[in-house]
Structure 1
Amino acid sequence: MPDQNQNPNGSVPLRQPPLTPQDISAPRTNVPQPEPQVIQPEFIPVVPKIPKEPNRGLRDFGSFVGILATAGILAFLLISFVFRSYEVDGISMQTTLMNQDKLLIWKMPRTIARITGNPYLPARGDVVIFDQIDLTACGQGEARQLIKRVIALPGEKVSIVDGHYMVYNASYPQGFDPDKTLGYDQDGHIPTTTVTGETSDFTVGKNQVFVSGDNRPFSCDSRAFGPINENQLIGKLIIRLLPANKIKLF
């Protein structure tokens, strides 16, 4: 009687030994392992925030105010420290300057002198603007800004006879006539000097100048209120702007 485990063809099948607990727990090296998956973080696009455009009307108004403020500050600085326009009021400087002439005054030398702590002293012959507080000697009570010509400088002596000046200093101990030596007016005008009976002498102190109008019979100047201090000076005349047909550099 044939064996029950025997195949009909007479071969005997191989029997696999039973699995032990070690076989069950041992890793199976011949079984393919799944590839590890890399989990990518979810990409969330960032949309930039677009700032709101301010009200155009307010922005334009702010720009306009800024321009006005800048222009105002610039104008203030120029007028205070660089130059300023003036209008002649009166006849004391005729015929060099006529009533209502429009002038431009240069203030920069005085500004530099203030910054450096030095006195501002113009040159002889310069036409200057200055503050004169006391005008009682001229029959006027209120302070005014006057325009006159520099005749004498610190340390000099001025002698006046009938409106004619003689200036004495170390270089000219015998004196000189500034009306003849300076050539005040390039147009050929000569200061009106005749003041009959006027005789006086002045000594110009430190940091002072003696000033006079070119139309001396009708000028209130240092002959009346004495030499002026340098801190009264505002600036010097550099150009006559109007009338247009009389524009002139000084």
Structure 2
Amino acid sequence: MNARRTPLRPRLRHRSFARELVSTVLFLVAMYTLMEMTLPRSIVQSISMEPNLIADQRLIISRINYLLGQPQRGDIVVFNATDTRPGEPPLIKRLIGLPGETLEIRDGAVYINGVELDEPYLNEPCSLSRCKDRVWVLASDEYFFMGDNRNHSHDSRAFGPIHRNQIIGRAIVRYWPPGVWGILSYTYGDSP
């Protein structure tokens, strides 16, 4: 009788190890899927956000921020532009205009509801040829985005306002290259 039980014990240990291995792999797959759904990554594709974001930097994007709250002026946002072709990566720009606001570009400066927007993150003024005088009145679900490098940015000035459902998420962390790792944050407060 003991001879029969001895061979069963290694099988039980093998089954226990196999179950643990399968459980661990399933847990890792579930965690990876959850992370990709809530905190996807994105690559800065152009110079349009210089000097604050440089081409080829890697960012972590939060979808949760906008499930729990509304996009805020100054957020660096990843979104699909209206004129994005299939297979093209989403754009990364700064949120400038909020729903219901009147946004005006006049003499190279941005005005929100008639008040000039203070933009200390800009490295150089926008040339008048790139920032032509124009007015946009944003609807209740429209947002206006501009690159920090205004003279080299394809943004809402070209393709117009973006609807809420086109927004993917807010850039929260720059993680690559390691020397520039940091949390991305800029807020305007209550007024432009």
> TM-score under structure 1 normalisation?
0.63
Q: Which residue of 2 aligns with 1:148?
A: 93
Query: Equivalent residue of 2:127, what SS?
Result: coil
Say whether the 8 Å CA contact 1:126–1:149 is kept in structure 2. Answer: yes
Residue 225 of structure 1 aligns with which residue?
159
Q: Distance in 1 between matches of 2:141 and 2:13?
A: 58
2:104 alignment counterpart: 159
* Deviations 1:37-89, CA, capped at 9 Å, x for gaps: xxxxxxxxxxxxx79433544442332222111111111112212x2222211
CA distance in 2, matches of 1:99, 1:156: 31
Cα deviation 1:188-218 (Å, max 9, x = unaligned): x535522427222111110221111111122
- Of Structure 1 and Structure 2, the greater strand share is in 2
**1:108 aligns to 2:42 (yes or no):** no
* 1:79 pairs with 2:36: yes
Q: Which has the higher helix share?
A: 2
Q: Encode CA deviations 1:109-160: one digit per residue, 9 max, x unaligned.
A: 2233xxxxxxx5311111111122523xxxx675431100011111111112
Displacement of 1:167 in angstroms is 1.3
For 1:78-227, list aligned pairs within 5 A.
78-81=35-38, 83-112=39-68, 121-135=70-84, 143-161=88-106, 163-168=108-113, 175-178=114-117, 180=118, 182-183=119-120, 185=121, 189-190=122-123, 192-196=125-129, 198-227=132-161
Q: Which has the higher contact order (CA 8 A, sep 6+)?
A: 2
**Which whole-Å CA distance do the structure 2 matches of 1:84 and 1:202 have between them?**
31
Calculate the aligned-residue CA RMSD, in Å: 2.6
Identity of aligned residues (%): 29
Stretches of structure 1 that go unaligned for 5 or more consecutive residues are: 1-49, 113-119, 169-174
SS of the aligned residue for 1:66 comes to helix
Amino acid at match of 1:127: I
TM-score by length of 2: 0.80
What stretches of structure 2 of length at least 5 have no aligned partner?
185-192
Partners of 2:21 and 2:86 in 1: CA distance: 44
4+ runs deviating over 6 angstroms: none
- 8 A contact 1:195–1:217 mirrored in 2: no
Structure 1 pair 152/191, CA: closer, same or farther in 2 (3 Å)?
Answer: farther
